[in-house]
Structure 1
């Protein structure tokens, strides 16, 4: 007898690992975020026709399958005793026909239900991905990256099981249980009554064993999760680098060995629990028919039952156990499925903090000048703790503005308001007199280019990483952008040139090389306004001078706002704004601010030999 612990008795999201009680995490999820069944139904509304066919096929398959025991009864009671070859052939052909019909119906049912599940899953996954793309940076700083991936991959992927397993198994189990019970009564009401007495204790015994297995399996899964985390943290590029530099390898190895040793005992207990469940079911499947045989052997209880009827009844009774167990676990299945939808809807219902305006204003990239104004700008992540207060700045078209100040003064936050990575809490930020909140986000992205000190490169070729900024860019334009960023010569020396894969998070290149690739990627877009958030922080002095020369050439045709890390990026700016605790406390040129002898002069004197300005 095979172990059916991974059959339709298991929930869609945790097949093979749950017991006979709802997962506490699922119960908490539904308590915090209840789910409307009507909303779930709307997801499947466009697929009403195939779903109706699926239900009809389930009922038909169950009804056709019930004919088999009756055919067996006629074979035993009529065809064989009479030696009626013609009747025997007809009955055997009918038995084969039933098997073929149920098999074909099962294939069609699986095809239809899987197609519906995949279509709903595709639509929901695509809509959720697009919705999350519209979330502000604040959402992603508050949310663990693994959690977002789990919603998109695991939860939506498990939704397939809601259609192909949970829903269809409930429908099939109800049909089989009702149909089998009716057929059993039709065959022998005495044996049917006996089954009602014998089956409940057998079901309860099996459920108790299943609970024991669930406890052991849950503990084993937790230790496996710990093992996976240790592997991910200890054998990733960053993890190995950290381990080697801290000399933590022996400690991590010992911890991994302890976790692995724990799994030995848990694995043995899990296997034994599974074997106990299988043994219990074997005993049940043997005990119930034995009791029926015993009952049928006594004249007082047999009621003149034929052998064919007895065999048919045993066959029907054998098909009743698993569907009945499945119906007893409907509550668990529904809780797991509803919790699944609840987690998905939690993300789908997230408000979009930074969205396109209802009627966006259009700015023609060919004619835009790039004049930037910040009028009484205020910003706060927390209303009680403002980050920026009353910022008034004007950068003429083609002008350059440098932002300096100590760490936490609000420089990066101020720069993030221009491309609408954050939205102002008060005041306005405008380009050519148009509030950036009145521009479509795609148009604003075309107008404003951003290069930060934290570069991000995808696991793709150099060419694909650059073309991500402008898909229609030609190879010649890509190479020109790389020349301006002083990275072309290095790329040319690589074995595969621009087709070289940069590796996970760009680890194929040094920090300075990654930064130059990011600069080239932004130059390729040719924005009207350029925001440089410590964009040259990872470059050596010689390379920085070359890149700054490129920026100086670019600044003649565009507006540039720079967050200063080095004095060399500040000295030639048209204006330097000194921020302190979210306010502009000084504004002027390098020479003017030095003569003023205020905070800027202190920053320069406190730098590295007048070479660096505090970031």
Structure 2
């Protein structure tokens, strides 16, 4: 699925109005609340429609009793009724919103959680290809779009249509059909004009949004690269580029404003002409004595009540149209099924010994570029097997396949004789601990990042894991200790400190199987030795697969596999491979010479 941004979503894309039907499950969860909210909506509209009638009787009573002895309590009670109806209309609308709030907010919550879970179920390939910014905007706009559609479809379009029908019925019964026809013609012309002009000006709205995004991106990018700008004395150049973007934004905004003025002026013209025609009809009938002054007032009040909600039709239509597109994207995202799924009634993985076996495994990320070509090897229970080789040989792919980020194309991977495709992903990943090459931390406290290895762990267990990972001394040196915030992606910590956090997490998780994926490749020699001692501690009594770049880190491995071109070309321990004077010996010699030169 492609996540479109404001400025690259196809302008000719038409929203699918069937999307509204997909919102029905979110209404049925609180069916009683929805029915109650709709009842309050009807009561609010009845009060609104009855208000001009009360006003009519006030005016008629005052007009007919002008200059005569007047019974004071009658107009007083009519005024009280008029005020009560106005208050009732507002009260019922507010109660309606309060009752329906739970429905809309729960719908947003349900969808957000559903999308969140769905994204975590998606395969690694999806997350490698995604545009995080566009994906986040799709989720945000989609959930907000659901709330907007629920509210405005039920509480703007439906009430307006209901009010038009009620008013038309009253005018038809009390007066004559010409008023109904005049209002119907005005409403149809108004709606058609608003929809057509809104469709026309949508491109200007999109263009303004695109130029706004472009200018903001330029400003943010320039400020984030403040030091680079200073290094090359390019302040003036950056300002000129930003001003060009702002000029484009200014022109786009101008077009947007002018098109909006056209829409508003056209709507006002239609309303004005409708008022002139209908009020002229009423004036003629008042002059002929066919209707009273109160009737005239009632007709005027009804026209005002009808055209106030219609006045926002252009905005409402545009927003509903955009919300439909946003919700459609969100439902499309939810409709894309994960590639890696559990088989029906798959059992949980049972780890008795912890033997790992790759059997004639073939795999390719793309059909035209094979990565693994019939790889077979076994890691006996409790042993450590290291895999080395040049970049692109397929080392890290072995770890990804074992963790089932991807499924093999041919062959199989077994743990204690169980094909990992036949067991649940949850049980498989619970049994494997990973110390990755690049440890990414959450922007939270050090304690919470450590406890992430097992969120239910006690404080003492977290502290013990930190001690075993040789983090205790470092944490004590921090002013805030375990409450120190590590920053975005853990950037406030050094590479070695982040690696120790990763090791502590795995110790806390305490899995029977372990993957060390180039866990020391980015560290200096001093940090490397400290990390290696911690790694030896956690790999003791565990079946361990080590993906290594620095050969010095895997000298003590039980078996070393040398990969080249997606195949295992050598295997044995460190001394035996050196004696063979093959691929491994060449790699060792190259790294030894590089270190000596450094």
2:70 equivalent to 1:86: no
* Among candidates 507, 517, 542, match of residue 558 of structure 1: 542
1:450-484 residue CA offsets vs partner (Å, 9 max, x unmatched)? 11122111010000001011123334433343344
Task: Quote the RMSD (CA, aligned, Å).
Answer: 3.3
Matched, 1:597 2:581: yes
Q: CA deviation at 1:393?
A: 0.7
| Residue 63 (str. 1) matches residue 50 (str. 2) | no
1: CA distance between counterparts of 2:56 and 2:373? 88
Contact 1:484 1:547 in 2 (8 A): no
Deviating more after overlay: 410-419 vs 49-58 = 49-58
| 3-state SS in 2 of match to 1:537 | coil
* Aligned equivalent of 1:355: 341
Mark the CA change 1:512 to 1:228 in structure 2 (over 3 Å): closer, same or farther. Answer: farther
Please give the alpha-carbon distance, in whole angstroms, between the structure 2 residues aligned to 1:385 and 1:28: 38
- Are 2:388 and 2:395, in contact at CA under 8 Å, matched by a contact in 1? yes
How far 1:534 moved relative to its partner? Answer: 1.0
| Aligned counterparts of 1:555 and 1:173: Cα–Cα separation in 2 | 70
Are residues 1:118 and 2:101 paired? Answer: no
| Superposition deviation, residue 391 in structure 1 | 1.0
1:411 aligns with 2:411: no
Residue from 221, 236, 250 that aligns with 2:209: 221
The alpha carbon displacement at 1:410 in A equals: 1.0
Residues 1:363 and 1:274: Cα distance change in structure 2 (over 3 Å): closer
User: Could you tell me the TM-score, scaled by structure 2's length?
Assistant: 0.87
Change beyond 3 A, Cα 1:444–1:191: closer
The answer to which of 275-284 and 476-485 deviates more is 275-284
Determine if contact 1:79/1:87 at 8 Å carries over to the other structure: no
- Residues 35 and 341 in structure 1, CA contact (< 8 A), matched pair in contact too: no
**1:124-159, Cα deviation, whole Å (9 max, x unpaired):** 221221122111111111221123323433211221
Long gaps (5+) in structure 1: 1-16, 18-22
Moved more, 279-288 or 488-497: 279-288
Q: Over residues 155-187 of structure 1, what are the superposed CA-to-partner deviations in whole Å (9 max), with x where a residue is unaligned?
A: 112211111112321211110111122223334
Question: How do residues 321-332 of structure 1 correspond to structure 2 at under 5 angstroms?
Answer: 321-324=307-310
Question: In 2, distance between residues paired with 1:453 and 1:386?
Answer: 23
1:582 aligns with 2:566: yes
User: Who is 1:478 aligned against?
Assistant: 462
SS of residue matched to 1:27: coil
Distance 2:320 2:194 in 1: 21
Cross-structure match for 2:3: none
Matched, 1:317 2:300: no
Give me the TM-score of the superposition, normalised by structure 1.
Answer: 0.85
2:117 aligned with 1:134, yes or no?
Answer: no
Q: Distance in 1 between matches of 2:444 and 2:361?
A: 39
In the alignment, the residues of structure 2 paired with residue 180 and residue 28 of structure 1 have an alpha-carbon distance, to the nearest angstrom, of 34
Counterparts in 2 of 1:24 and 1:180: CA distance versus 1, 3 Å: farther
How many residues align? The count is 584
Distance 2:516 2:583 in 1: 22
- Of residues 422, 437, 440, the one that matches 1:453 is 437
Offset of 1:311 from its aligned partner?
A: 1.5
Equivalent residues of 1:174, 1:327 under 8 A apart:
no
- Are 1:514 and 2:464 matched, yes or no? no
- Residue ranges of structure 2 left out of the alignment (5+ in a row): 1-5
Q: How does 1:363-374 map to 2 (within 5 A)?
A: 368-374=352-358
Specify the alignment match of 1:537 in structure 2: 521
Task: Name the counterpart of 1:12.
Answer: none
Change (3 A) 1:407 1:29: farther
Q: 1:91 to 1:301 in 2, by over 3 A?
A: closer
For the Cα contact (< 8 Å) 1:184–1:317, is it kept in 2? no
| Kept in 1: contact 2:358–2:413 (CA 8 A) | yes
Q: Supply the distance in 1 between the matched residues of 2:388 and 2:274 (Cα, whole angstroms).
A: 83
3-state SS of 1:606 partner = helix
